[in-house]
Amino acid sequence: MPLERIDKLLTGAGLCSRRDAVRGVKAGWVTLDGEICRDAAKKVDPQTCRLTWKGEPVQTGRVYLMLNKPAGVLSARQDAEQKTVLDLLPKRFLDMGLFPVGRLDKDTVGLLLLTTDGVFAHGLTSPRRHVDKVYRAEAEGVLDERDIQAFAEGLTLRDGTKCRPAKLEILSAEAGKTTVLVTVQEGKYHQVRRMLASRGAPVVTLERLSVGAVTLDPKLERGQWRELTAQEIAALSG
């Protein structure tokens, strides 16, 4: 990774303006690898350096998070009227350029990845990569073997859109409602909702459980987030 100036890293982490960074460094508010550093122009490796600002660690490298997205929140960075997933996170992440990897509908809940790394995001959302995404859906209506077969063959949606083969698993059926797992490798607009609707089973609730090898952390309540582990980042970067 290219070396970066300390004042640029402090600004990029959303902690202060460039001018305040230079002043703060001069005032002794910054440590680099455990020692006070008074040179704001010093260049360091953002992935390996340990920088603190007023005693708090500074996030200098690229950022990778998982969020348990609640319903009613847009998968966007900012919106003039509605709450977005970035509104659920500390403001510094917005300043660092964090963005959601792909989208979940406003009312879909569950695993949403966010990053500052455009290459990582592109690798996961590119239609060429065929990354599995697993959803649990509760749908109205009854689904059976014929629906499983139709998903496996590749559905044609009501508007004529063709889908790649997908996996439908029926978990339970009760009182005219069916709970299913759907695994898709695409990210078309409202894809899972439209796939199930095309089989006469409109979605009532939809939750994303996993993306590739990474599963939603069961310890995260809706609205909570954590950083991805190095293993998770490696598994998704594949």
Of the candidate residues 105, 138, 140, 186, the single one contacting ligand URA (CB under 6 A) = 105
67: left (phi over 0), alpha (psi -120 to 50) or beta: beta
Distance CA 100, CA 27 (A): 36
Of the candidate residues 11, 116, 178, 191, the single one contacting ligand URA (CB under 6 A) = 191
Among 7, 39, 95, 105, the active-site one is: 105
Site for ligand URA contains 186 (CB under 6 A): no
Site for ligand URA contains 5 (CB under 6 A): no
Q: Give me 31's structure tokens.
A: 């440590």
Site for ligand URA contains 193 (CB under 6 A): yes
Site for ligand URA contains 131 (CB under 6 A): no
Of the candidate residues 59, 68, 108, 178, the single one contacting ligand URA (CB under 6 A) = 108
Whether 159 is a known active-site residue: answer: no
Q: Taking the complex as a whole, how short is the minimal distance between the CB of residue 154 and ligand URA, in angstroms?
A: 16
Site for ligand URA contains 190 (CB under 6 A): yes
Query: Where on the chain is the footprint of ligand URA (CB under 6 A)?
Result: 104-105, 108, 190-193, 206
What positions carry a catalytic annotation?
A: 105
